[in-house]
């Protein structure tokens, strides 16, 4: 990742959720849904990203299965963390509030979902334009899988702590955003 991409990632993955937490009263689940939407877009568009590699068809299937498995694991562990942190949560109602959240009079779900997928599509097109193909693309895919494993480990650790003690929401939000920040700079 070059400097501009790192700054962009920090703005989208850290600064925006922090602003949402402090200025717009976003809760932990809202922030994590926003984050999971981005991860979903990466996995859904992974077949197009893999066209930039020299993987054969069986390697592509394995990569897609790994990414899908890690995404599903991350979704499950995150939901377990949220449930242990706030047992009274109604996941469907919270998701509805996330999707129908109005900003400037427009429900964000109708705009945000396509924008996240478009952003990932544009990232793939930029990587092609700047010749990030072949081995470079394989390295990015491997880093993405490692990052997913680290995030899952972080949430599993939080889940382990939550089985013994209650953690206030901020004590999960800030370390999560710190981990995301570190992963942006970790090569």
Domain spans in the chain, listed from the N-terminal domain onward: 3-185
User: How far apart (Å, rounded) are the C-alpha atoms in residues 60 and 107?
Assistant: 36
Grade residue 187 by pLDDT with cuts at 50, 70 and 90.
Answer: low
- pLDDT higher than threshold 70 for residue 168: yes
Average pLDDT on 104-125 reads: 89
Query: Which pLDDT score is estimated for 61?
Result: 96
Average pLDDT on 54-79 reads: 96
Average pLDDT on 89-116 reads: 90
DSSP character string of 19-61: HHHHHS---HHHHHHHHHHHHHHHHHTHHHHHTTS---HHHHH
Query: Which pLDDT score is estimated for 10?
Result: 86
Any idea which of 69-78, 101-110, 144-153, 172-181 has the lowest mean pLDDT? 101-110
User: How far apart (Å, rounded) are the C-alpha atoms in residues 49 and 187?
Assistant: 20
């Amino acid at each position: 990742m070059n400097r501009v991409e790192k700054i962009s990632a920090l703005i989208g993955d850290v600064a925006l959720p922090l602003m949402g937490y402090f200025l717009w009263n976003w809760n932990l689940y809202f922030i994590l849904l926003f984050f999971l939407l981005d991860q979903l877009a990466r996995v859904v568009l992974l077949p197009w990203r893999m066209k930039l590699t020299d993987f054969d068809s069986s390697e592509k299937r394995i990569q897609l299965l790994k990414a899908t498995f890690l995404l599903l694991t991350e979704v499950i562990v995150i939901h377990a963390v949220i449930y242990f942190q706030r047992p009274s949560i109604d996941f469907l109602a919270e998701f509805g509030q996330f999707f129908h959240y109005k900003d400037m009079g427009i429900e964000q779900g109708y705009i945000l979902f396509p924008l996240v997928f478009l952003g990932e599509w544009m990232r793939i097109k930029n990587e092609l334009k700047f010749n990030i193909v072949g081995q470079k693309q394989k390295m990015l895919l491997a880093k993405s899988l490692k990052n997913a494993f680290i995030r899952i480990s972080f949430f599993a650790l939080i889940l382990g702590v939550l089985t013994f003690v209650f953690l206030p929401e901020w004590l999960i939000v800030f370390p999560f955003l710190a981990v995301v920040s570190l992963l942006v700079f970790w090569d």
